[in-house]
Structure 1
Amino acid sequence: MTRYAIIADIHANLEAFKVVLEDIKAQNCTHVVCLGDVVGYGANPKECLDIVREMKIPCIKGNHDEMCSVDKNLEGFNPYAAEAIMWTRDQLTEDDRQWLRDLKYQRLIANFTIVHATLDLPHQWGYVFDKLMAAASFTYQNTPVCFFGHTHVPLAFIRDSVVRGGTYSKFKVEPGKKYFVNVGSIGQPRDNDPRAAYVVYDLDENTIELRRLEYDIPTAQKKILAAGLPARLAERLAYGK
């Protein structure tokens, strides 16, 4: 049995991450991989990063991972994200920051690919919300399945003769097609559903299933406010926006 838990965009939300890890065990997953943005936005960057490192979860670099690990200026980031990045930098050790700096932008895992944003320009952090944007990544996709994150919105794009796309709960991977699948976000969902999201990819059954889980949002919110982070970052968790 080979079952991969595909997680993304934890964003320092320890409450959501713990619930997902429990569900991963309950789902009898044999492997876990992470699509980046372990840190940023939330109040527990060090704790979440420690878990990923201790579990030796294969991980790729997200834009928040990148910016929290270097001292670049934050031009182009919204003020809430920028404030959280500045705060997060101070929570991480130099060893943590080096670990984040060393992450690759994309990786091959078993017979599938993982990337944080796009396959065409993975280091430029483009957002894939529609078929046109997905088509650019399909051009560079050399495996039947590629998982991505970054948008915090779970969508599956399929290329056979044309590119199709939409929301999903569970589907079968069919031969001869390519799949570019967003697994949603653990720590800050943005599809109007506040529940933590991740995907189980069963390589024996060839199925991809989206899992949604309730977690202790009030505690995560209180921690964000107690850390002096922008209230907006706490408020949005309740709405999944």
Structure 2
Amino acid sequence: MKLAILSDIHGNEQALKAVLEDVKDRGTTDILVLGDIAYRGPKPKECIDLIRPLRAKVIKGNADAWAVRGVREGEVPDNVLEMMQSEQTFTRSHITEEDADFLDKLPHTTEIPLTNKRQLFAFHADPESLFKVVPDDASNETLSEWFAHNPRAEFFTYGHIHLSHFRHIDGKKVFNPGSIGLPFDGDPRASYVLLQKTAGEIQIEFRRVSYDVEKALADLTETGYPQAAVPLLTHIYKFGEKPS
């Protein structure tokens, strides 16, 4: 079994295409997507169209909820609410009702058997919330609160924070694959995890994939992406980090 774990694509078609090519080259047998497929990027429908035929396990992220029902006051800082609402309007106008229904009906969690006795439990941000931020430097106590949601799972994975990390806690493994479309760790390459069974052990490989950033930047212009958000996305595409 080779399981690719993808997260936080955010409408970045160029990054997603490069990752899917890398996934194919690695002989991957299964794919798990941890949400945030379409919203906050220039090619929302194209990303949905790349994901849906894969027969992947896909769960919902906060941006998938936003793409369908909008960004509400109090969910984001007041100073960016108008910009993010304009991005949602763009996203919603570029996807079909069928696409919206697909995003709306995604489950919040999923479990994947890795062997007969070893399970992976997956969610976007937190098992009970699409929006809770659990940073990469959270305490072991904070991360271990997830174990009660699926006591038989050995592996726990989540997205949302756009930062890859791995932690051993009391015999459990907690990891985040980082972001495909909007990485925040200073490396602009797309980030994902390849999990595979080798010689009776389960190996976790963090992979980085280069993609055509210049084409992604051109997509922002050619699609008419909301101008207020273009400098932000441009900086992240180029430098793999939020502007200071």
Is the pair's TM-score, using the shorter chain for normalization, greater than 0.5? Answer: yes
Q: Place the TM-score, normalised by the shorter chain, in its bin.
A: 0.7 to 0.9
Contact 2:87 2:225 in 1 (8 A): no
Contact 1:115 1:122 in 2 (8 A): no
TM-score normalised by the chain length of structure 1: 0.86
TM-score normalised by the chain length of structure 2: 0.85
Equivalent residue number for residue 14 of structure 1: 13
Secondary structure of 1:50's counterpart equals helix
Contact 1:74 1:82 in 2 (8 A): no
Change (3 A) 1:72 1:184: closer
> CA RMSD of the aligned region, Å?
1.7
In percent, how many aligned pairs have the same letter?
30
* Alpha-carbon distance in 1 for matches of 2:47, 2:206: 22
Contact 1:225 1:234 in 2 (8 A): no
**Structure 1: tracts of 5 or more residues without a match:** 161-176
**Which of 112, 115, 137 matches 2:120?**
112
- Match for 1:112: what amino acid? L
**Structure 2: tracts of 5 or more residues without a match:** 114-118
Equivalent residue number for residue 172 of structure 1: none
**Which of 101, 125, 146 matches 1:137?**
146
Contact 1:40 1:81 in 2 (8 A): no
Contact 1:70 1:97 in 2 (8 A): no
- Match for 1:215: what amino acid? Y
Equivalent residue number for residue 218 of structure 1: 214
Query: 4+ residue stretches of structure 1 with deviation over 4 A?
Result: none
* Alpha-carbon distance in 1 for matches of 2:38, 2:110: 19
* Alpha-carbon distance in 1 for matches of 2:207, 2:240: 15
Further displaced range: 7-16 or 74-83: 74-83
Give matches, 1:1-241, under 5 Å. 2-71=1-70, 73-78=72-77, 79=80, 80-110=83-113, 111-119=119-127, 121-129=128-136, 130-131=138-139, 132-142=141-151, 143-160=153-170, 177-204=171-198, 205-226=201-222, 227-229=224-226, 230-231=229-230, 232-241=232-241
Further displaced range: 193-202 or 128-137: 128-137
